[in-house]
Amino acid sequence: MISPVLFPLLAACGYAVFGWRAATAWLGALAAAGQLGAAVTLAVATTGQPRTALSGLLRADALSAFMLIVIGVVALLAMLASPSYLAADLAARRTGPRATRRYGILTQAFVAAMALAVLAASLGVLWVAVEATTILTAFLVGSRRTRQAVEAAWKYVVICSVGIALALLGIVLTHYAASHAGLPPAGRLDWAVLARDAADLDPGVMRIAVALLVLGFGTKAGLAPMHAWLPDAYGQTPAPVSALMSGVLLSVAFYAILRVKVIADIALGPGFIRTLLLIAALASLAVSAALLLAQRDYIRMLAYSSIEHMGLVALGAAIGTRLAMAAVLLHVLGHGLGKSVLFLSSGHIQQAVGSSKISAVTGLASRAPLLAGAFGLGLLALLGMPPFSLFASEIGIARAGFTAGLGWAVAVALALTLVIGAGLLSGGRRMLLGPLPPGGTVPLAPPADGAIRLARSAAVPLVAGLLACAALGVAGGPLRHLLETAATMAGATP
Amino acid sequence: MSDSVYMPLLDLACGAFLLAGVLVLWRRDLAAIVRLFALQGAALAALVIVLAAHEGSAGLAAAGVAVGGLRAGLLPHLMRRALVAGGEGQESRPLVNVATSLLVAAVLAMVAYDASQPLVRLTPTPATQAVPVALTVLLVGFFVLVTRRRALSQVVGFLLMDNAITATAFLTAGGVPLVVELGVSLDVLLAVLVLQVLTLRMRAAFGGTDLDELRELRD
Amino acid sequence: MTGLVGAVAQVVVVAVGSPLLVGLMRKIRARLEGRVGAGVLQTWRDLRKLCRKEAISPHGTGWVFRMAPLVLAGTALVVASVVPLVTTQSPMDGVADLFAVAALLALGSVALALGGLDTGTAFGGMGASREVTLLALVEPTILLSVFALSVRVGSTNLGEIVTAAVHDPMAVISPVSLLAAVALGVVTIAETGRIPVDNPSTHLELTMIHEAMVLEYAGPDLALIEWASGMRLFVLLGLLAGLFAPWGIATAGAGPVAVVLALVVLVFKVAVLGAGLAAGEVFMAKLRLFRIPELLAGSFMLALLAVAASYFLA
């Protein structure tokens, strides 16, 4: 059970010792594959009964196992894409051997910290792991050392650290309420014990604690109003790391909110946290809709789309029925896959064009059909088009919302999603179609015809990610049982 | 320890903790701000040790010494080094001028007092009655973070918030479990180190640490 | 009866002693700066000389200008008679309310500011505007810091606050007392126009506050103003000592010996505080004028925190 944390840590040690070489480049992918395997085993083992390890420090139930699968899948995609991405960067002298070694160590440690976060039995350890992800990714965000990179890294660390500090205060207050309720010292921060005895917790204290926890972990999950770091950070991060941060880090932070929600539903009644999540969800959707309409930068466009999807996830969690929670979890996985493909392909586009401006990219469909196809299909997946799984999960959230009497919120969300869809589509259309750039103005296009070459190893994760996302949408059967168990663990009300 | 000694000592430690936090708003000299932060760390350590003496707990006393070592020793030392390396002694022009921000701090104290009533009502012991003090420092720290324009001042603001959270933890339930406390301390230390490195890079890229220069990324 | 005697003695000591206090402080400053300086009695000699001169009021000034020194001196005398410096059993005790005292002090300041305005000169107006700016921050601070002390006692009567402090000397080291003491110390300095807020011994136009207002006064009027200013300094220092180091003040049931002792202790405490203030002034520079509101806002905030703490740490 400790192996999902251990594999990436070992890979990190490997990079620390050997550096980033041709031989070690695939080490990360190997570790991610091992992690994914361990996660699937764990998922099979925990569908019945949660399991603990390390004298109760770690606990895995179906929800943790599901989150581990998400981490494993996205990490695998990102690590498969890393070698070709870094090779292109090395060839263009944008990076050096020291930077690539650090990239190897930090990304692996980052994946390990996320795995630890979803396996932690104590809210305190969960907090420590989530804060560790901030610190580990800080240097990845600022790795280019340009003015923009330093600015993005500074904002990222300061905003996330402050947000997460509020969550720590929430944890401290939860601990206070728990010790007053007479919980045993070892279990005062254990989410399972807290959920069992939540009815004894003082509502006055818990109200403050839950609000702080949602605000704090919501910062890390990119929910409005504390989302400001997100577009800046993604724009300055290597594409595989952006994929990891958008695809899973946001979801891991949201996982913390789900655990808090279970406790809060019993201690305060479902109304309190539902209100908080609804506000955050609609605010996030509104923010991303407002900023996507006239977006001129395609990486920031993807970042705002991440805020939108976290808003949808928060909306589903606010609804909180069994259908809604299962749809939320499916959405997390589908978004992880789709967004990874998009970030990875946008990374290749950026490497080829040398700019992240939408106006710098035209006629992509004829210059690089495969890349353009992956990018376009990824956008369609994010818009919730069938056959991709986000279609199923968005329909699930909407249906659950109408049956749960939150139809107005769903209606508002759908309207905002339409606006966002229009924004994304117009951005995508300008990039994929449009005239071919006249030969001289493109700064970087070695072949004379303006085509963009894509290494075969770089194409594999793009295609695999899209296929997985589509397969999940067409036949989510094998996951059904896991999703339902995990939804129950996440406090789904019938 | 008898109540007649415990109460004044606890109150004194809390008063020093609060005063050091608020005076950060008043000083412009960055070296003085770091000194005040160290003083606050010492007050926090004293607070924990007083609580330990009251409860007769050796573990808590050890935690107090560790807190003091980190927050009154190591972190101020790191910041002082960054200060010497940077050679920028003064806060430039805060977003909100000093007189106004002092008045805002007074308002924040009221807000903190009001917000912490449910916490005090749960167990009205002398220790929990001091929780509003910690929350005031938390809000003041947030205010420093939002309105000050030097990188180092922002770090101090963040650390003030962290001190306040630690104080809340000890005042409410005698601290959180050891694993969590260790993890939190390590995270804070690393965050400060990361911010220090970023400060150096900022100086290399912008020629200063005035955060108003950070305006390249926006929508 | 002892109360009445004590109250009268208190007014006499303040009235006679305040020029001596000013003289003492000037002497100490001179010595620390390496000068011999005038004797302690020099202030009295100055006052006597001013009183013998003809009363002159500038052309175009009205009754406000002439009344201002009288109001200032009158309020100072009333304050000197009501605050519990020597005994808490004064017959005026019922008037010794926190709000009344603060209002009386403010009345004196406002009268002087109006007098400065009435001259119609640039300096008078400038001094008045500066004085009122400071007043806006000083008065609330005095109110709040004494109020913080009164929360514990449950009364805004200064006599009762001092009595409670005499009976429970340990309470003086509480955060409430310390915060209020610092706040009150700062506003005492501002209210009496000492360094670092104002420099009493200069007529430098860029910085002066108090001196700018009284620039047009001469003769007996000026003597009255100087004397009243001295009394305000004496009373505020005495109040500071009484609130935070109340040892020796005669409380209920004290005999004549205690009153005499209280008088001696009062003179001693005020002399020590005055000497400390003078010594501090030697080592400090005057703040730039636009930094003064920061200092006063700081002391206001300390006072507010003292009030807050008196509720927090009840």
Element (H, E) at A59: strand A58-60
Interface touch A168/B206, C-beta < 8 Å: no
Residue of A nearest to B214 (CA): A151
Q: Chain C closest CA to B194's CA: distance in Å?
A: 33
Q: Chain C closest CA to B218's CA: distance in Å?
A: 34
Q: Which residues of B touch C (CB under 8 A)?
A: 4, 8, 11-12, 14-16, 18-19, 22-23, 26, 97-100, 102-103, 105-106, 109-110, 113, 126, 129-130, 132-133, 136
Count of domains for chain B: 1
Half-sphere exposure of B197 (CA within 13 A, CB side): 13
Question: Are C271 and C24 in contact, with CB atoms under 8 Å apart?
Answer: yes
Q: Chain C closest CA to B144's CA: distance in Å?
A: 15
Residue B177 lies in a domain: yes
Residue C248 is predicted with a pLDDT of 83
What are the φ/ψ torsions at residue B167 (nearest 5 degrees)?
A: -60, -40
Residue B216 lies in a domain: no
Q: Which of A102, A106, A136, A154 to mutate to test the interface with B (most CBs of B within 10 A)?
A: A154
Question: Are C300 and B103 in contact, with CB atoms under 8 Å apart?
Answer: yes
Gap between the Cα atoms of C133 and C137, Å rounded: 7
Coil vs helix vs strand at A468: helix
Residue B211 is predicted with a pLDDT of 77
Task: Return the closest-CA partner of residue B109 out of B2, B14, B189.
Answer: B14
Average pLDDT over residues C124-132: 89
Task: Return the closest-CA partner of residue A35 out of A2, A83, A82, A81.
Answer: A2
Q: Chain C closest CA to B211's CA: distance in Å?
A: 24
Coil vs helix vs strand at C254: coil
Residue B219 lies in a domain: no
Residue A368 is predicted with a pLDDT of 85
pLDDT at B86 over 50: yes
Give residue for tokens 């420590």: A128
Gap between the Cα atoms of A145 and C212, Å rounded: 57
Interface touch B98/C297, C-beta < 8 Å: yes
Beta-strand pair A51-53/A58-60:
antiparallel
Coil vs helix vs strand at B210: strand
Encoded amino acid at A54, one letter:
L
Question: Are C53 and C220 in contact, with CB atoms under 8 Å apart?
Answer: yes
Residue B215 lies in a domain: no
Interface touch B102/C178, C-beta < 8 Å: no
Identify all chain B residues contacting C170, using CB atoms and an 8 Å cutoff. Answer: 4, 8
How many residues in chain B?
219
- Token pair belonging to A6: 């251990």
Task: Return the closest-CA partner of residue A153 out of B146, B196, B147.
Answer: B196
- Token pair belonging to C219: 């003769």
Cα dihedral C169/C174/C179/C184 (nearest 10):
-10
Q: Is A275 on the interface with B (CB under 8 A)?
A: no
- Token pair belonging to A285: 């959707």
**Which among B180, B184, B191 is the nearest to A157, CB-wise?**
B191
- Token pair belonging to C33: 């700066």
Gap between the Cα atoms of A347 and A243, Å rounded: 10
Mean pLDDT, chain B, whole residue set: 87
Question: Are C174 and B19 in contact, with CB atoms under 8 Å apart?
Answer: no
Interface touch C300/B106, C-beta < 8 Å: yes
Residue B6: band (very low, low, confident or very high) from pLDDT cuts 50, 70, 90: confident
Gap between the Cα atoms of C275 and C32, Å rounded: 11
Residue A494 lies in a domain: no
Residue of A nearest to B216 (CA): A148
Question: Are A82 and A90 in contact, with CB atoms under 8 Å apart?
Answer: no
**Rg of the Cα trace of chain A?**
21
Task: Return the closest-CA partner of residue B153 out of B218, B112, B109, B98.
Answer: B98
**Which among A132, A145, A169 is the nearest to B187, CB-wise?**
A132
Question: Are C303 and C144 in contact, with CB atoms under 8 Å apart?
Answer: yes
Kindly list the partner chains of chain C, i.e. chains with 3 or more CB atom pairs below 8 Å. Answer: B
Give residue for tokens 């004064």: C90
Neighbours of A254 (CB within 10 A): 22
Q: Is A299 on the interface with B (CB under 8 A)?
A: no
User: Per-residue pLDDT tens for C85-94?
Assistant: 888 888 877 7
Contacts of A488 (CB under 8 A, 6+ apart): A62, A322, A325
Q: Chain B closest CA to C136's CA: distance in Å?
A: 13
Q: Read out DSSP for C147-161?
A: HHHHHHHT--BHHHH
Task: Taking the CA atoms of B41, B47, B53 and B56 in sequence, report the sign of the dihedral they define.
Answer: negative
The mean-pLDDT minimum among A122-136, B82-96, B144-158, C170-184 falls in B82-96
CA triple B194-B196-B202, angle to 5 deg: 105
Q: Which of C301, C305, C307, C310 to mutate to test the interface with B (most CBs of B within 10 A)?
A: C301
* Alpha-carbon distances of A479 from A62, A162, A354, A486, B169, rounded to whole Å: 11, 37, 40, 10, 41
How many residues in chain C?
314
Contacts of B29 (CB under 8 A, 6+ apart): B89, B90, B91
**Which among B161, B173, B205 is the nearest to A145, CB-wise?**
B205
Interface touch B122/A150, C-beta < 8 Å: no
Residue A477 is predicted with a pLDDT of 65
CA triple A201-A204-A205, angle to 5 deg: 65
Identify all chain C residues contacting B125, using CB atoms and an 8 Å cutoff. Answer: none
Coil vs helix vs strand at A297: strand
Neighbours of C76 (CB within 10 A): 26
Residue B166 lies in a domain: yes
pLDDT at C314 over 50: yes
pLDDT at B106 over 90: no
Residue C255: band (very low, low, confident or very high) from pLDDT cuts 50, 70, 90: confident
Task: Give the residue numbers spanning the domain of A357.
Answer: 3-489
Q: Chain B closest CA to C70's CA: distance in Å?
A: 35
Residue A308 lies in a domain: yes
Element (H, E) at B98: helix B98-115
Encode chain A (494 residues) as per-residue pLDDT tens digits.
Answer: 788 999 999 999 999 999 888 888 889 999 999 999 999 999 888 877 888 888 888 999 899 999 999 999 999 999 999 999 998 888 888 888 888 999 999 999 999 999 999 999 999 999 999 999 999 998 898 887 788 888 899 989 999 999 999 999 999 999 999 999 988 888 889 999 999 999 999 999 999 999 999 999 999 999 988 888 999 999 889 999 999 999 999 999 999 999 999 999 999 988 999 999 999 999 999 999 999 988 889 999 999 999 999 999 999 999 989 899 999 999 999 999 999 999 999 999 988 888 888 888 888 888 888 889 999 999 999 998 888 999 999 999 999 999 998 999 999 999 999 999 999 999 999 888 877 765 544 444 444 445 566 777 888 899 999 999 999 888 776 778 888 888 888 877 65
Give the distance from CA B181 to its chain's centroid: 16
Gap between the Cα atoms of A449 and A468, Å rounded: 33
* ipTM reported for the complex, 2 dp: 0.94
Average pLDDT over residues B125-130: 87
* Alpha-carbon distances of B156 from A273, A402, B82, rounded to whole Å: 32, 48, 12
Contacts of A403 (CB under 8 A, 6+ apart): A321, A323
Residue B105 lies in a domain: yes
Residue A442 is predicted with a pLDDT of 47
Coil vs helix vs strand at A250: helix
The pTM is what? Answer: 0.87
Task: Taking the CA atoms of A400, A404, A405 and A406 in sequence, report the sign of the dihedral they define.
Answer: negative
Count of domains for chain A: 1
Coil vs helix vs strand at A53: strand
Coil vs helix vs strand at A51: strand
Kindly list the partner chains of chain B, i.e. chains with 3 or more CB atom pairs below 8 Å. Answer: A, C
Gap between the Cα atoms of B191 and B180, Å rounded: 16
Alpha helices in chain C (DSSP H): 2-32, 42-52, 63-82, 98-118, 122-153, 158-167, 175-191, 210-213, 219-244, 256-283, 292-312
Coil vs helix vs strand at A120: strand
* Alpha-carbon distances of C268 from B111, C184, C234, C249, C272, rounded to whole Å: 43, 20, 12, 12, 6
Question: Are A67 and A251 in contact, with CB atoms under 8 Å apart?
Answer: yes
Question: Are B39 and B20 in contact, with CB atoms under 8 Å apart?
Answer: yes
User: Per-residue pLDDT tens for B42-80?
Assistant: 999 999 999 999 988 888 899 899 999 999 999 999 988
Task: Give the residue numbers spanning the domain of B197.
Answer: 3-209
How many residues in chain A?
494
Residue B160 lies in a domain: yes
Gap between the Cα atoms of A91 and A286, Å rounded: 41
Coil vs helix vs strand at B90: strand
Gap between the Cα atoms of B44 and B162, Å rounded: 11
Interface touch A208/B168, C-beta < 8 Å: no
Residue A69 lies in a domain: yes
Task: Return the closest-CA partner of residue A377 out of A465, A305, A452, A311.
Answer: A465
Gap between the Cα atoms of A163 and A185, Å rounded: 27
Residue B92: band (very low, low, confident or very high) from pLDDT cuts 50, 70, 90: low
pLDDT at C120 over 50: yes
Residue C313 is predicted with a pLDDT of 66
Q: Read out DSSP for A179-244?
A: HHTT--GGGSSBHHHHHHTGGGS-HHHHHHHHHHHHHHHHHHTT-TTS-THHHHHHHTS-HHHHHH
Q: How many CB pairs under 8 A join A and B?
A: 142
Interface touch A146/B115, C-beta < 8 Å: no
User: Directed axis angle between helix A147-180 and helix B178-206, to 10°?
Assistant: 160
**Which among C175, C297, C309 is the nearest to B99, CB-wise?**
C297
